[in-house]
Amino acid sequence: MRSAALRGRAWKLLETVTTPLLPSDYLDLVSPLRAGAELRGRIEAVHPETGDAATLVIRPGRGWRGHTAGQYVRIGVDVEGVRLWRAYSLTSPTDRRDGRVTITVKAIPGGKVSNHLVRRAQPGTLIRLDQATGEFVLPKPKPAKVLYLTAGSGITPVMGMLRDTEFDDVVMVHSAPRPQDVIFRNDLHDLVAEKKLRLTELHTATDGMLDIARLDELVPDWAERETWACGPAGLLDAAEAHWTEQGVQERLHTERFRPSVVVSGDGGEVTFRTTGKIVDADGATPLLDVGEEAGVLMPSGCRMGICYGCVTPLKAGAVRDLRTGEITEAEPGVLIQTCVSAAAGPCDIER
Amino acid sequence: MTAIDPTAHLSGEQIEELGRELDAIRDGVIAARGEKDAAYIRKVISAQRGLELASRGVLLFSAFPPAWLIGTAGLSVAKILENMEIGHNVLHGQWDWMRDPKIHSTTWDWDHVSPAEQWKHSHNELHHTYTNVIGKDNDLGYGIMRVDEDQKWHPLHLGQPLWNFLNACFFEYGIAAYDLELGNNLDKHRRKDPEFRARAKAVGRKIRKQVLKDYVVHPLLSGPSFLSTLAATFTANLVRNLWSHSVIMCGHFPEGVQVFERRSIERETRGQWYLRQMMGSANISGSKAMHFMTGNLSHQIEHHLFPDLPSNRYAEIAVKVRALFEKYELDYVTGPLPKQVFSAWHKVFRLSLPNKKSKVKTAAPERKLVVT
């Protein structure tokens, strides 16, 4: 107790030395991964997995609290100078001796962050980290019989579990377009060779998409298995419907990487979250005007996009910059200038 | 106010065309903005912090004269960079696009006695929106000086060279008082206004912190060098204040810069707004190092056209902007620092004395940029 109080006081004193900055602003210059710093990680290596996927080895800062197999981590990466946040499943076992963690990223067409990480990320780069989170994890004790139903990069959280836990009876049905697109293919085949895993590998480019009705044939006892499914929405929707039909929906655990797709269009319904006002806005009226007309107390300034006196967090949806036409989508930490932004689809503003 | 409108030769259509060309310059920079720019500001911030830390370290031994000199020089430069190339520009939102909460106009605080919030209001919002509009833009003379022939002369103006000099020495306090609109708020009634009191309190807190740091804590840390460190910090603040005051005077006061009537900005179009920024600002010419040390406010014209574009881009923008000045036969007011400082001071002295009534007032209607 006393030493904590003393430390608190010493810190206060340090703050008077560094004001208006904080001592941490100086410490960050030399030791960004230290205990007590904002959580960061350093990319130490990038290993290609397939033509468009790579595994990043990350040394997390001292504040990292570890993870449970199957969880994901949100990372903040600077792409072309802009900090962007994305969530990726952790693919390393939880007890890696060097304390590093890995995420495995598949480059999606047009994906700013995924393409950057897979093709351009450099060892040595600092990134921002959140603590690991997610409910897509195994219960304790581990279930006797497990089914993993995965497709594409949906393999990543499952690989985290396979690497972390020894199962008695585990079956996996995994789909990818072609053999060379199967992420972790060698690791999976090693597990199969060691008889630790039974694997059905489907190649959708030649065999077509998995018909969920085929499960009876592929995994006859699927309904008895505790199942974790991860992959594109189509697969998960089909699985949820199938498990529900058979009355075993409590055995199915799913993970959706992108729960909602931002619809960007021209105008939309604007929600002012704090005041609870919801109004329809067109694609040409600045959100500042929309809010003021709806009686929301909006901060404002020059009303022409130069003073930044009106910036407001965008919590959901998308807005269009009326000067450049540029679309901004909601992400944590994204602020918009309401005087030059209009609704580009439904959006949610913190006012 | 000038009797002849230097933009009179432009038609309304030309002014709007000029606006579109300036928008295109802006769009070009926004499209090109990226990793290099982000790396630039991060590097400047780290270098500034390193320099400040090192200078403060050296000043722990400031009783030793060479240490005093080196430490004071380093701290002066560090404070100048902190206020100008970093603070001023970050608070303008120039780096908000990086989405780095640490380098963002909403979270930044600077080594200055004016709280960032208040400064953003009086500077970004009032000064940049109403640039050089008499009665709306208080940066014109900061409410304490007469800077235009048409402003009414008062015997108190005789002292304005002295006010200006004192303001230069204690510039950061002048700015804080100015952001508080102290002049307007001193009467009994307004002094009691809770909003004003809250803002005054915020300034008080900021002053306390700044003074405690510079004039108590750091000198105390120097132990036997207490007094010499105190003198060093005072000197560094003085140097910073004199320098930023000089640079800022050059932005809008030199001869050739236009001021505007309130009425002229009614129903102002985007093109007209741009034109007002062009005619109301002045640059300082010089080396790269000079631009850097002024926080690129030497590119005041470009800064006023595009206050939220990253400062490291002003130099390249300036070439294109200047070409537009030539194309539209407008006067690009620029000159080396000593010349511009002299010009601004000359105006301060000249206007401390009464002048003959301007012809504009009585003859033609006031110059205005409203296109009829």
ipTM: 0.89
The Cα–Cα gap between A82 and A77 comes to 8
Select from A16, A21, A112, A307 the residue whose CB has the most chain B CBs within 10 Å, as the one to mutate to test that interface: A307
In chain A, which residues have their Cβ closer than 8 Å to the Cβ of B109?
Answer: 20-21
Q: What is the mean pLDDT, run by run of 10 residues, along chain B of 372 residues? A: 77 96 96 97 98 98 98 98 98 94 93 96 93 85 79 91 95 93 79 90 97 97 97 98 96 90 89 96 97 98 97 98 98 96 94 74 39 31
Nearest Cα of chain B lies from the Cα of A320 at a distance, in angstroms, of: 15
Residue B287 tokens read as 């080396």
CA distances from A229 to A21, A52, A240 (A): 47, 22, 9
Give B106-109's long-range contacts (Cβ < 8 A, gap of 24+): B106/A308, B106/A311, B106/A335, B109/A20, B109/A21
Tell me which residue in B26, B111, B125 faces A20 most closely, judged by beta carbons. B111
- By C-alpha distance, the chain A residue nearest B36 is A81
Tell me which residue in B33, B101, B218 faces A333 most closely, judged by beta carbons. B101
Select from B125, B136, B217 the residue whose CB has the most chain A CBs within 10 Å, as the one to mutate to test that interface: B125
Nearest Cα of chain A lies from the Cα of B294 at a distance, in angstroms, of: 21
> What is the pTM (predicted TM-score) of this model?
0.90
Judge whether A341 and A320 are in contact, CB under 8 Å: yes
Nearest Cα of chain B lies from the Cα of A102 at a distance, in angstroms, of: 24
In chain B, which residues have their Cβ closer than 8 Å to the Cβ of A29?
Answer: 46, 49-50
Closest CA to B38 of B123, B108, B103: B103
The Cα–Cα gap between B66 and A112 comes to 52
Q: Chains A, B: CB contacts under 8 A, how many?
A: 104
SS3 B295: coil
> Which chain A residues have any C-beta within 8 angstroms of a chain B C-beta?
13, 16-21, 25-26, 29, 78, 80-84, 301-302, 304-309, 311, 323-324, 326, 331, 333-335
> Which pLDDT does position B3 carry in this prediction?
54
Residue A90 tokens read as 């952790």
In chain A, which residues have their Cβ closer than 8 Å to the Cβ of B92?
Answer: 308
CA distances from A209 to A177, A238, A239 (A): 9, 12, 13
Task: Say yes or no for a CB contact (<8 Å) between A81 and B38.
Answer: yes
Quickly tell me which residue has 């972390």 as its tokens.
A164
Residue A103 tokens read as 């995420």
Nearest Cα of chain A lies from the Cα of B310 at a distance, in angstroms, of: 12
Count of CB atoms within 10 A of residue A67's CB? Answer: 23
Judge whether B316 and B285 are in contact, CB under 8 Å: no
Instruction: Quote the Cα angle for B96-B98-B104, to 5°.
Output: 35
Residue A63 tokens read as 């504040």
H or E stretch at A168 = none
SS3 A321: strand
- By C-alpha distance, the chain B residue nearest A300 is B125
- Note down pLDDT in tens along chain A; length 351 residues: 578 888 889 888 899 999 999 999 999 999 999 998 999 999 999 999 999 999 999 999 999 999 999 999 999 999 999 998 889 999 999 999 999 999 999 999 888 999 999 999 999 999 999 999 999 999 999 999 999 999 999 999 999 999 999 999 999 999 999 999 999 999 999 999 999 999 999 999 999 999 999 999 999 999 999 999 999 999 999 999 999 999 999 999 999 876 555 566 789 999 999 888 899 999 999 999 999 888 888 888 888 888 898 999 999 999 999 988 889 999 887 899 999 999 999 999 998
- List of domains in chain A: 40-129 (2.40.30.10), 145-255 (3.40.50.80), 268-349 (3.10.20.30)
Task: Say yes or no for a CB contact (<8 Å) between A333 and B106.
Answer: no
In chain A, which residues have their Cβ closer than 8 Å to the Cβ of B100?
Answer: 78, 83
In chain B, which residues have their Cβ closer than 8 Å to the Cβ of A305?
Answer: 308
In chain B, which residues have their Cβ closer than 8 Å to the Cβ of A20?
Answer: 109-111, 206, 209-210
Residue A65 tokens read as 């609290």
In chain A, which residues have their Cβ closer than 8 Å to the Cβ of B121?
Answer: 301, 309
In chain A, which residues have their Cβ closer than 8 Å to the Cβ of B36?
Answer: 81
Nearest Cα of chain B lies from the Cα of A130 at a distance, in angstroms, of: 15
Judge whether B271 and B19 are in contact, CB under 8 Å: yes
Judge whether B234 and B65 are in contact, CB under 8 Å: no
Nearest Cα of chain B lies from the Cα of A282 at a distance, in angstroms, of: 22
The Cα–Cα gap between B218 and B317 comes to 41
Task: Say yes or no for a CB contact (<8 Å) between A20 and B110.
Answer: yes
Select from A19, A311, A312 the residue whose CB has the most chain B CBs within 10 Å, as the one to mutate to test that interface: A19
Judge whether B133 and B1 are in contact, CB under 8 Å: no
The Cα–Cα gap between A212 and A147 comes to 14
Count of CB atoms within 10 A of residue A168's CB? Answer: 10
H or E stretch at A157 = helix A155-164
Residue A29 tokens read as 């210059």
Nearest Cα of chain B lies from the Cα of A346 at a distance, in angstroms, of: 22
In chain B, which residues have their Cβ closer than 8 Å to the Cβ of A301?
Answer: 121, 124-125, 129
* Domain boundaries, given as residue ranges, for chain B: 2-33+110-370
CA distances from B270 to A12, A196, B167, B275, B311 (A): 49, 69, 34, 9, 22
| Helix-strand-coil split of chain B, %, nearest 5 | 65, 0, 30
Task: Say yes or no for a CB contact (<8 Å) between B36 and A81.
Answer: yes
The Cα–Cα gap between B53 and B87 comes to 17
> Which pLDDT does position B5 carry in this prediction?
85
Task: Say yes or no for a CB contact (<8 Å) between A81 and B35.
Answer: yes
In chain B, which residues have their Cβ closer than 8 Å to the Cβ of A331?
Answer: 99
